Amino acid sequence: MASSHDADTEGITRRKSLAALAGAGALALAGCTETEGEDGSDGSDGSDGSDGSDGSDGSDGSDGSDGSDSLSGSINIAGSSTVFPLMSAVAEDFAADNPEVSIDISSTGSGGGFSNFFCVGETDFNNASRPIQPEEEELCADNGVEYVELVAATDALTVVINNDNDFATEMTVDELSQIWQSDAAELWSDVRDEWPDEEIERFGAADTSGTYDYFVENVMGEDGHTDDYQATEQDNTIASGVEGSEYAIGYFGFAYWFQNQDQITPVAIDNGNGPVEPSLETASSGEYAPLSRPLFTYPSIESLGEEHVAEFARYFVSQTTNEDLVAGDVGYVPATEETQEEQMGILEDAIEQAQG
């Protein structure tokens, strides 16, 4: 801080500089001003209003409905880590076309998303790699959250083994069940006699994951899932675990294998009609059974009442047939035209219900 001993010299400079400041300030005030309301598209204030953080901007809150040409607002999405890449690819394109809409996506797992965020009314969409379960339906009903189910794409749940494993490249559903059920086989030879006397190392999805639920329901059924495995939400961990051991086995969504085909080997699954390898074609035709599964997203009906959410939902459904995006960039099976039409019908009904 300025000391007082040379106050005189400073005083003059300060007076001069203050005059300069005042001049510049006056210039600033008079010359270049802007008025709020004209610059609604400026960003800082337009979105303030819809967030409700600034009480005075309450009147701006109706921005979304009257300005049909430019959508604005925020969209909160949570849920399955399997659907996450697909949803973020669609959201990326939507955000690029509608810069005023801010979209955020959290990868929480299907169950985590429903119970922690969606069914307590915090998010507008919840992604799921399996249908919503009864206890989640109940939770949503308790909190008055209504929703519709939209099919996003089809995934081929892929069972993988080490590249050096040349014996277990084909398995029946029953053998798969023996490996993963709650009193699981310890050695490969327990499953099929000609397989080696080596311990099975298992890497699978954690029980918050929709992949886990789907796998249990369609492979093991009543027999449940073994506890003797490395559970993780990270496909990456499963892949490197399987890559690291010749006698390891794991399962995850198709996309990871699709993008890393040299790292690990997929198992062809025999559901009674001969072994079928997982691929975009076999999953789409339904040949790859029982492991090809639909992926879902659940928009909340209340949120669909807002135009920007409804528009995003429409855009999402329209993109589910986009092969470049769904198959090429992400690695899932695109929806057929029929499915898309059907989903669009469901969505339009829900939007009408919400907005009408």
Q: Which amino acid is at 234?
A: Q
> What's the rounded Cα separation, in Å, for the pair 133 and 114?
9
Nearer to other proteins, 14 or 244 (CB): 14
Judged by beta carbon, residue 76 or residue 177, the one nearer other proteins is 76
CB of 100 to other proteins, least distance (A): 9
> Rounded to whole angstroms, how far apart are CA atoms 316 and 214?
23
What's the CA gap between 356 and 135, in Å, rounded?
30
Rounded to a whole number of angstroms, the minimum distance from the CB of residue 302 to other proteins is: 17
Please classify residue 278 by burial: count the beta carbons closer than 10 Å to its beta carbon, then call 0-12 exposed, 13-18 middle and 19+ buried. Answer: buried
Q: Give backbone dihedrals phi and psi of 141, rounded to 5 degrees, phi first.
A: -65, -40
- Of the pair 147, 312, the CB lying nearest other proteins is at 312
Contact partners, residue 158, CB within 8 Å, separation at least 6: 251, 252, 253, 254, 256, 257, 266, 267, 278, 291
Q: How far is the CB of 173 from other proteins (least distance, A)?
A: 25
Q: Mapping DSSP to helix (H, G, I), strand (E, B) and coil, where does residue 292 land? A: strand
Residue 71 CA to residue 218 CA, distance in Å, equals 42
CB of 149 to other proteins, least distance (A): 23
Q: What are phi and psi of 126, to 5 degrees?
A: -125, 125
Least distance (Å) from other proteins to the CB of residue 353?
Answer: 26
Residue 337 Cβ vs other proteins, minimum distance, rounded to whole Å: 23
- Name the site residues for other proteins (rule: CB under 8 A): 2-4, 6-7, 9-11, 13-14, 17, 21, 24-25, 28-29, 31-37, 43-44, 47-48, 51-54, 56, 74, 76, 78, 81, 84-85, 88-89, 91-92, 95-96, 99, 102-108, 116-117, 122, 233-236, 255-256, 258-260, 329-331
Closest to 276 in 3D by CA, of 195, 169, 161, 181: 169
- Shortest gap between Cβ of 132 and other proteins (angstroms)? 20
Closer residue to other proteins (CB): 195 or 308: 308
Task: Look at residues 170, 160, 176 and name the one whose alpha carbon lies nearest to residue 268.
Answer: 170
Token pair 């949570």: residue: 78
Q: Nearer to other proteins by C-beta: 52 or 196?
A: 52
Strands 170-172, 292-299: pairing is unpaired
Q: Are 235 and 226 spatial neighbours (Cβ–Cβ below 8 Å)?
A: no
User: Which residue, 26 or 141, is less far from other proteins as judged by CB?
Assistant: 26
Query: What would the 3-class secondary structure string for 171-192 be?
Result: EEHHHHHHHHCCCCCCEHHHHC
CA 42, CA 261: separation in Å to the nearest integer? 46
Choose between 34 and 193: whose C-beta lies nearer to other proteins.
34
Rank residues 99 and 244 by Cβ distance to other proteins and give the closer one.
99
C-alpha–C-alpha distance, residues 106 and 184, integer Å: 34
The least CB distance from residue 335 to other proteins, in Å, is: 18
